[in-house]
Amino acid sequence: MSIKYNADSKTFILETRDSSYLMKVSQYGNLLHLYYGSRIPDEDLDYLIKVQDRGFSPNPNEAGNDRTFSLDYLAQEFSSDGKGDYRIPSIEVLNCDGSQIFSGKVESHRIYRGKYPLKGMPSVQAGPDDSVDSLEVRLKDKVSGAAAVLCYSVFEEKNVITRTVRFINCGQKAMKLLKLMSATVDYKASEYEMIHFSGRHVMEREFVRVPMQSGIHSIGSSRGTSSHQYNPFAILCEKGANEDWGRCYGYSLVYSGNFLIEAERDQFRQLRINVGVNPKGFSWFLEPGEEFQAPEAVMAYSGNGLTELSKRYHDIYRENLCRSPYAKKPRPVVINSWEAAYFDFDDEKLLEIAREAVDMGVDLFVLDDGWFGKRDDDNSGLGDWKVNRRKLRTGISGLSEAVHAMGLDFGIWIEPEMVSEDSDLYRAHPDWCLKAPERPMTRGRNQLVLDLSRRDVCDYLIEAINGILTEARIEYVKWDMNRSISDVWSGLLPAERQGETAHRYVLGLYYVMDEVILKHPDVLFCGCSGGGGRYDPGMLYYQPEIWCSDNTDAKARLKIQYGTSFVYPVNTLESHVSVCPNHQTGRTVPIGTRGIVAMNGILGYELDPTLLDNKEKKACREQIRFYKEHYEIIAYGDYYRLESPYENLYVTAWQHVSRDRKHSLVSMVITDREGNDAQRYVKLKGLDAKAYYQIEGLEGRYSGAVLMNAGIPVPNDLNEYEGTVVCLDMINPCGQ
């Protein structure tokens, strides 16, 4: 078992292949945190708990006259609230008597084989070859009767620990939950830095690194989605940690709604991190016997820098998260009609685009927004999922048949969670929107948000989407969501339950996806929210890939895809070649570079091929050929960030290496060019130091050791924004 309990020391020991996680029950029943880090043989770490009398740090009643035991400074596994711990809490409650106190003491525990269950919520799953053990520790508040069940699953070989909390009102009276974190970890030191990924629409997941100073540092979303502004993932690392050195801790939340990741450096220079649903605007009313399930947090530790930490997440999210058969299938190269036509199209124009795409070597044609209802712009028609026969005379089925006759598969765009005021759906059901009574509505992109906390709305969407997917031969669906949520109020919930609306919306969305996606396993679903506004593990549980950003500019994508790579594997990232000047930035980048950047993900095209010249079409054909030839390395190989676009102003570089280390692709893009420029080199990673490699374009053979220590030269004949991909193949081991 990877989980043990030492009854003598009352210590729980959780072990992955390379890490240990220890906690213990105190003499008063509190669950104290002991250690998280590199794997250790020790099972009794009581010596780490140092108690002393600290001024203004109160002592629990059960400690009697012992003034040295205080929750104000001890490292805890799940903090109490209102009982002398003044740091950011794991939980906040409102009891029936008006008090806001939860004092959880260990009542029982259970260790068992397999992954803990999580009903109605996405989570990573144990694969057939995974060794997974689970622990549940029940903390009981004796006065209110409420209990918090802390759940842990250890993926031993993947070096990952997952966590969640189930809160149960076991008392005799109703209560309200105001905050519940999925994971709390207390560190005895605080000389750490936090790495997180902030941004905005069309510039998502930018790399940010800040020192942990006294006070509270937090990131999160209250926009109803995980958002463009922050991603539900953060790294704590020791100062100076880089790709190959240093202790690094990752915290990723498998959730698609409002989230919070907060860290506090306290008065004694200790550090606490909390991960969970954002308590802003949240509350959950619990009658006796009712419970609330928190989403899952995925924790990983690396003692050897950021690259190793990323690999932990890449492996588990690639292999244990998404349930779609496409998670382990080659993805088609798509061409999307959006930047080619926007809303201005008919059958003839679409078929002309598809016809030219066949010659490029594309696999699948996607019809984006504008095919339904009265939809000539983004001001009307959302919610009316009936084909616009003025644009598509033969309907979706006729267009699909014509596209398939050319040898292409067919896909469509939908935005089921939204409705336009100018729509038949809104006119029939204005009460189906999120909107507070007697208040004017807030519009985003001139559209409103359907109330997915309502089962009748969810059932309507399930019927409508399933109807579309059975009406025609459709192999791909782009599922979009194009505004932040506001006016969060549901017509079916009483006043005391309105704080549940935002979370119920997310649960409703998961329910809809369960009922649609599971019924169509042969359809490839691609997530989207104005690009990367809902790029999170919760969505990847349902959709094996996500449109990375509405920004298709190759230079901007260097930063966007760099930040994304810290937690999300390459085969979840949809990335397209588009036209220049780019529609978002106006920048012009060579088509070769656009292809190199797009191939650092799931290659596709966002352009009108009828406007390409012969040279550009030839370049696209070659990109697709190269991508398919090396798909296994790109999609399933190990990924290395070689040169950061934030630290190296001149060149950004990355590397894909096959699992057997026999083949590798090294990609480089010049981001700045100087006159009479210096010769630059890129040091490779992940190769077999004792083997020899042949490098495409260079004569001779070179050991993995020299390539990783001396590097390869960056070609000096590349101009600004030009790039190259270098192929390496192992010849034989050293000495043979």
- Residue 281, token pair as written in the block: 């605007």
In the block, tokens 């760099």 appear at: 562
* Candidate list 133, 384, 536, 550, residue with the active-site label: 550
Q: Is the peptide bond before 437 cis (omega within 30 degrees of 0)?
A: no
Give me the residues paired with residue 663 across strands: 729
Contact 551, 584 (CB under 8 A): yes
480 counts as catalytic: yes
In the block, tokens 């991960």 appear at: 275
Single-letter residue type at 618? K
**In 3D, which of 344, 452, 471 has the Cα closest to residue 401?**
471
Distance separating alpha carbons of residues 356 and 203, to the nearest angstrom: 31
Give me the residues paired with residue 378 across strands: none
Element (H, E) at 334: strand 334-336
- Residue 673, token pair as written in the block: 């060019």
Spell out the residues 6+ positions from residue 241 whose beta carbon is closer than 8 angstroms to its own: 193, 247, 248, 305, 306
Q: From residue 670, how far is each of 356, 555, 575 by CA, in Å?
A: 31, 9, 19
677 counts as catalytic: no
Q: From residue 644, how far is each of 100, 550, 590, 668 by CA, in Å?
A: 47, 22, 21, 11
Coil vs helix vs strand at 356: helix
DSSP 291-360: EEEPPEEEEEEESB-HHHHHHHHHHHHHHHT--SGGGGSPPPPEEESHHHHTT---HHHHHHHHHHHHHH
Q: What is the largest CA-CA distance in the chain?
A: 86
Contact 563, 205 (CB under 8 A): yes
> What 3 state SS string does 491-533 have?
CCCCHHHHHHHHHHHHHHHHHHHHHHHCCCCCCEEEECECCEC
Reported residue count of the chain is 736
**In 3D, which of 429, 324, 351, 327 has the Cα closest to residue 384?**
429
Distance separating alpha carbons of residues 581 and 578, to the nearest angstrom: 9
Coil vs helix vs strand at 90: coil
What backbone torsions phi and psi does residue 523 show, to the nearest 5 degrees? -100, 130
Reading phi first (left if > 0) and then psi (alpha if -120 to 50, else beta), residue 413 is in beta
* Candidate list 480, 536, 608, 638, residue with the active-site label: 480
Q: From residue 543, how far is each of 308, 376, 451, 510, 638 by CA, in Å?
A: 25, 28, 22, 11, 22
Reading phi first (left if > 0) and then psi (alpha if -120 to 50, else beta), residue 394 is in alpha
Single-letter residue type at 383? G
DSSP 75-135: -BSS--BSSS--S--SEEEE-TTS---B--EEEEEEEEESPPP-TTS------TT--EEEE
- Residue 393, token pair as written in the block: 């005379």
Locate the DSSP E strands across 553-595: 573-578
Contact 677, 715 (CB under 8 A): no
Reading phi first (left if > 0) and then psi (alpha if -120 to 50, else beta), residue 366 is in beta
Reading phi first (left if > 0) and then psi (alpha if -120 to 50, else beta), residue 541 is in alpha
Distance separating alpha carbons of residues 126 and 114, to the nearest angstrom: 7
Residues with catalytic annotation?
480, 550
